[in-house]
């Protein structure tokens, strides 16, 4: 009988791997890469004695079984100066300056704006199975975005008799979507950004992606971007691509909002342009946290941690648990799982786990939840019993994955929820990319003359108290016109 994941111990992997068919065969790790090892597995500890404050959850008794030695950061000063200079030169020099930077950094001498023929030729190169997978993912993202849009309803109310006020949702006119295409071809980012903009109702959507030297944009990215509804596909990456969308170069409408992930230069370009245009968020290195209790599968937890660590050398991954036995087993599994990755992925995951990975032991599930909220992770996975409790309790995360039957990778690629999410603790105050980011919630008001009367009286008195006589006179003139001959007390009444 094939053993369950839960039944497979670290010491037993080498013996049972040959009879374990559930993993993709490319993961040789599950058959022979892990050698039997000896280490001590302790029973779950009883929580330490708590002070009254600890019992209320205000102080956590966290034990770091593995603690990060680095904190994610960038060479902010140097990056800022470089980006500022490039943006200034492109704004002054227009199309030709953008082309110069594209030649320097993208090393691409093909067309900047893809024609219909270019798009058709690229789409023809995409295998049918990959097309089907992209259509499946795009359909899920589209339907989820449509549900989000339906949650926004226009409404109105009568504030006082004769005065109506309301709100309505209006999509921005032009969106600029950045689709990474350097180290990895982020097909899913094309789907996530362009599809949501299309559902929101933006009049024009530009998607830009860095071309590869001598090749252009990856055909699968072109297919996904075209399927999602981009009006223009631009073969340009980096700061120059962001600038071209923001400044409306190459005959494009200037973007009202810039969205999508990218490297530190792309992120800094968006940050610098924020205010002049809207942005989805200021993104840092991707991060992921797993909450796991004693019943979680150590192999599943370890694989999911490694899967997120491969993003980059500075991508933190964290395990928070109330089981020392689980924690130690996961820590024993991770190094060999990393070693079995392809070289580029292995190098990233190795550095991320070594420098930024953490394993935290808590006494109770409440302490686990509070720890997670303090970290405010971009991705939050729960592999623990009583999933409804966790869903209701947790409050700070970009996207939540409940149970081992789902995983961050699902949300990254095909579930339908968006993978452009807040990083670096920003989930404490904001959510990820959605239809709502492309929508402006605006208000309106309309009044009869009788409805305006009490509003004008209050406005005149409050304005004079504030010292804003011009505001007060805007109210005065209406009262005088609409109610001639009447006397009003419009003086300020200080406290």
Residues designated catalytic: 378-379
Question: Residue 371 contacts by C-beta under 8 Å, 6 or more apart in sequence?
Answer: 60, 62, 320, 360, 362
Contact (CB, 8 A) for 434 and 141: no
CA 20 – CA 4 distance, rounded (Å):
9
Phi, psi angle pair for 401, to nearest 5°: -120, 110
Report in angstroms the alpha-carbon separations of 17 from 3, 110, 120, 339: 10, 49, 45, 17
Beta bridge partners of 319: 290, 359
Question: Residue 20 contacts by C-beta under 8 Å, 6 or more apart in sequence?
Answer: 2, 3, 8, 30, 31
Strand ranges (E), 430-478: 439-447
CA 490 – CA 460 distance, rounded (Å):
6
Phi, psi angle pair for 312, to nearest 5°: -175, 165
CA 127 – CA 140 distance, rounded (Å):
20
Contact (CB, 8 A) for 228 and 198: yes
Nearest CA among 166, 160, 155, 163 for reference residue 444: 166
DSSP assignment of 25-82:
TT-GGGTTTSPP-----PPPPPPPP--HHHHTTSS---EEEE--S------HHHHHHH
CA 182 – CA 293 distance, rounded (Å):
38
CA 346 – CA 220 distance, rounded (Å):
24
Nearest CA among 372, 279, 377 for reference residue 322: 372
Question: Residue 433 contacts by C-beta under 8 Å, 6 or more apart in sequence?
Answer: 192, 193, 196, 259, 280, 281, 418, 420, 421
CA atoms within 13 A on the CB side of 279: 23
CA 206 – CA 236 distance, rounded (Å):
11
CA 471 – CA 491 distance, rounded (Å):
13
Nearest CA among 220, 224, 259, 222 for reference residue 242: 259
């Amino acid at each position: 009988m094939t053993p369950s994941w839960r039944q497979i111990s670290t010491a037993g992997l080498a013996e049972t791997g040959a009879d374990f068919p559930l993993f993709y065969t490319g993961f040789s790790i599950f058959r022979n890469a892990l050698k039997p090892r000896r280490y001590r597995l302790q029973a779950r500890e009883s929580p330490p004695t708590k002070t009254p404050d600890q019992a209320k959850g205000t102080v956590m008794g966290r034990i770091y079984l593995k603690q990060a030695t680095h904190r994610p950061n960038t060479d902010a000063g140097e990056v800022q100066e470089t980006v500022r200079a490039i943006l200034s030169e492109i704004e002054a020099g227009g199309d030709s300056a953008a082309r110069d930077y594209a030649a320097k950094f993208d090393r691409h001498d093909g067309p900047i704006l893809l024609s219909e023929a270019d798009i058709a030729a690229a789409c023809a190169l995409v295998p049918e199975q990959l097309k089907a997978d992209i259509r499946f993912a795009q359909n899920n993202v589209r339907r989820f975005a449509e549900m989000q849009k339906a949650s926004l309803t226009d409404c109105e109310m009568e504030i006082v008799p004769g005065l109506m006020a309301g709100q309505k949702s209006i999509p921005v006119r032009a969106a600029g979507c950045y689709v990474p295409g350097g180290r990895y071809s982020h097909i899913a980012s094309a789907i996530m950004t362009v599809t949501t903009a299309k559902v929101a109702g933006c009049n024009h959507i530009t998607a830009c992606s860095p071309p590869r030297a001598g090749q252009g944009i990856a055909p699968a990215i072109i297919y996904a971007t075209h399927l999602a509804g981009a009006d223009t596909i631009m073969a340009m990456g980096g700061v120059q691509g962001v600038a071209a969308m923001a400044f409306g170069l190459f005959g494009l409408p200037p973007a009202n909002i810039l969205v999508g992930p990218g490297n530190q230069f792309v992120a800094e370009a968006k940050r610098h342009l924020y205010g002049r245009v809207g942005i989805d968020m200021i993104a840092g290195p991707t991060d992921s946290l797993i909450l796991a209790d004693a019943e979680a599968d150590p192999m599943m937890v370890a694989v999911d941690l490694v899967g997120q660590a491969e993003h980059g050398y500075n991508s933190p991954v964290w395990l928070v648990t109330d089981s020392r036995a689980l924690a130690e087993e996961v820590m024993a599994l991770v190094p060999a799982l990393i070693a079995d990755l392809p070289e580029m992925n292995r190098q990233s995951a190795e550095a991320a786990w070594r420098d930024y990975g953490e394993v935290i032991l808590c006494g109770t599930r409440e302490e686990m939840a509070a720890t997670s909220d303090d970290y405010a992770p971009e991705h939050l996975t729960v592999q623990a019993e009583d999933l409804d409790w966790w869903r209701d309790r947790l409050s700070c995360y970009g996207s939540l994955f409940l149970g081992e039957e789902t995983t961050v990778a699902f949300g990254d690629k095909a579930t339908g929820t968006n993978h452009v999410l807040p990083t670096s603790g920003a989930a404490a105050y904001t959510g990820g990319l959605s239809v709502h980011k492309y929508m402006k919630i605006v208000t309106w008001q309309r009044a009869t003359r009788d409805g305006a009367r009490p509003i004008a009286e209050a406005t005149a008195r409050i304005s004079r108290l504030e010292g804003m006589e011009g505001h007060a006179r805007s109210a005065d003139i209406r009262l005088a016109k609409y109610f001639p001959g009447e006397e009003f007390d419009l003086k300020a009444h200080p406290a």
